[in-house]
Amino acid sequence: MRKDIEKEILKKIKPTAEENQCIQQITNDIKKKILVQRKKVPYLFDVLLVGSIAKGTYLSGNLDIDLFILFNPQVPYKHLEKFGLQIGKKALPQWTIQYANHPYVRGTYKGFQVDIVPCFKVDHPSKKISAVDRTPFHTNYVVQHLKENEKDEVRLLKKFLQGIECYGAEEKIRGFSGYLAELFIIHYHSFKNLLSSCQNWRFGEFFNLDKGRHGTFRGPLIFIDPVDPTRNVASALSKEKFQIFISACQAYQEHPKMEFFFPNPVIPWPLAKIEKKVKNCVGILIPKPFLVEDILYSQIRKACKNLVALCGQYDFLVEDVSYHVNDYITIFLKLKSMVLPPHKFHMGPPCDKKEHVSFFKKRWRGSKYALSQPFERDGRWWIEIKREFTDVPLMLREKIKDVNLGKHLTPLVNKIEILEHEQLINDRYAVFWTKYLDKKMPWER
């Protein structure tokens, strides 16, 4: 049964001869448009196809073209950016500027997404000037070490990772990159072998294809880059996605089915059902700035962490935090309680810490929040005080301006809305709440 499923999957995801011919023609067309600009740029450069198309591991219908413009390392960095962008803009009829370590051009050509990225043509990865200088070496390594019959194994793994929502090293996903998937097949030789072996993985699982010297890393998974041993290819992988992958492999081994590769869409629950399940939640609605996704999602996670800390500062215990991104960013905080008693007993220093006791008494003497005089109990000093806030939404409205939400989100603080229960139960959030409350894995839908 499993072999039949995987055979059927490959029929769907393996590019046809026509697709291969088409992508080759389009790639050649863009290369010519790039190379014709050699006369207009004061530096000699080469152009190189990299990524999954160059490696022969791309999926049907997922034909993104990655072309690198290679400049001599002696070219000034600012000129690499300037002329790299100039070349990319001239080669593509429609384009935008994207950012990684430095800007590059992304556009479309005859319906295909194309990235044109300038880099330095170094003779060894250790001499890289920018991080993307390694990419041609990654492509070359896979081309040299991945056997022809293993390319379909990579395709199965990539589609499996897509289906379980673990594919992509970008900040939005924090999963497995395409390069990492290729390295795993080089190591295990087949999708089947990987599935069997990963069920015994533990946090900190380690791989090194070349068995040579390498850096010291921490994380759920460590795979030393055979091209650059100072780098962990799996550095972006989150603990959550690591655990989901292992669980998915175990589940697929037990009950293989198409849904691991092509999951069913989320069917939203009725709003009445959602309303019954959503308790003690508050939302923070933030306008979505125009940012590169990696920066955006990094700042959203930072905002989540600091909002949880803010709630804790005022004794509101956050049990869970999540977020939803569309035209706006919505951060959801699930609290143990939305309302707290109006007063509490505040713990001071041990009685034998004279200097601290003196400071404690001085601090609270005459405070508008003090409801009693400091007193001793069980070897410590205490005081009964009035809480500044007893209501979460009110506290957030008053204090969110003091939170570091990230470089690009903090300036939007005056446009932030605090959403209460009735504002969270609507069609905009129906799919989010269904996934959040249902807890089903993608293959279980």
To the nearest whole percent, how much of the chain has pLDDT over 90?
Answer: 80
Per-residue pLDDT band for 214 (boundaries 50, 70, 90) equals: confident
Query: Mean pLDDT score of the chain, rounded to an integer?
Result: 93
Determine the pLDDT at residue 136.
96
In the chain, CATH 3.30.460.10 covers 14-144
Residue range 386-402: mean pLDDT, rounded: 94
Question: In this predicted model, what pLDDT tens digit does every residue of 94-104 receive, in sequence order?
Answer: 899 888 778 89
Closest among 59, 158, 157, 166 to 442, alpha carbons compared: 166
Per-residue pLDDT band for 285 (boundaries 50, 70, 90) equals: very high
Of these ranges, 56-70, 149-163, 383-397, the one predicted with the greatest mean pLDDT is 149-163
State yes or no: pLDDT of 1 exceeds 80: no
Determine the pLDDT at residue 127.
92
Using alpha carbons only, how large is the chain's radius of gyration in Å?
27
Residue range 61-72: mean pLDDT, rounded: 91
Question: In this predicted model, what pLDDT tens digit does every residue of 247-260 receive, in sequence order?
Answer: 999 999 999 999 99
Determine the pLDDT at residue 372.
87
Task: Measure the CA–CA gap between 236 and 173, rounded to whole angstroms.
Answer: 9
Question: In this predicted model, what pLDDT tens digit does every residue of 291-306 receive, in sequence order?
Answer: 888 889 999 999 999 9
Q: Does domain 147-260 have CATH number 3.40.50.720?
A: no
Determine the pLDDT at residue 362.
85
Task: Measure the CA–CA gap between 100 and 15, rounded to whole angstroms.
Answer: 29
Q: In what order do the strands lie in the sheet with 375-377?
A: 343-350, 380-386, 375-377
Tell me if 181 sits within 8 A of 157, measured CB to CB.
Answer: yes
Determine the pLDDT at residue 101.
74
CATH, range 14-144: 3.30.460.10
Residue range 244-249: mean pLDDT, rounded: 97
State yes or no: pLDDT of 283 exceeds 90: yes
Determine the pLDDT at residue 13.
96
- What are residue 233's phi and psi, to 5 degrees? -65, -25
In the chain, CATH 1.10.1410.30 covers 147-260
Q: Which range, of 57-71, 261-275, 303-317, averages the lowest pLDDT? A: 57-71
Residue range 416-428: mean pLDDT, rounded: 95
Determine the pLDDT at residue 33.
94
Determine the pLDDT at residue 374.
87
Question: In this predicted model, what pLDDT tens digit does every residue of 29-45 receive, in sequence order?
Answer: 999 999 999 988 999 99
pTM value is 0.91
Question: In this predicted model, what pLDDT tens digit does every residue of 13-25 receive, in sequence order?
Answer: 999 999 999 999 9
Determine the pLDDT at residue 269.
97
State yes or no: pLDDT of 363 exceeds 80: yes
Residue range 416-443: mean pLDDT, rounded: 95
Domain 271-339+390-444 adopts which CATH fold?
Alpha-Beta Plaits (3.30.70)
Per-residue pLDDT band for 346 (boundaries 50, 70, 90) equals: confident
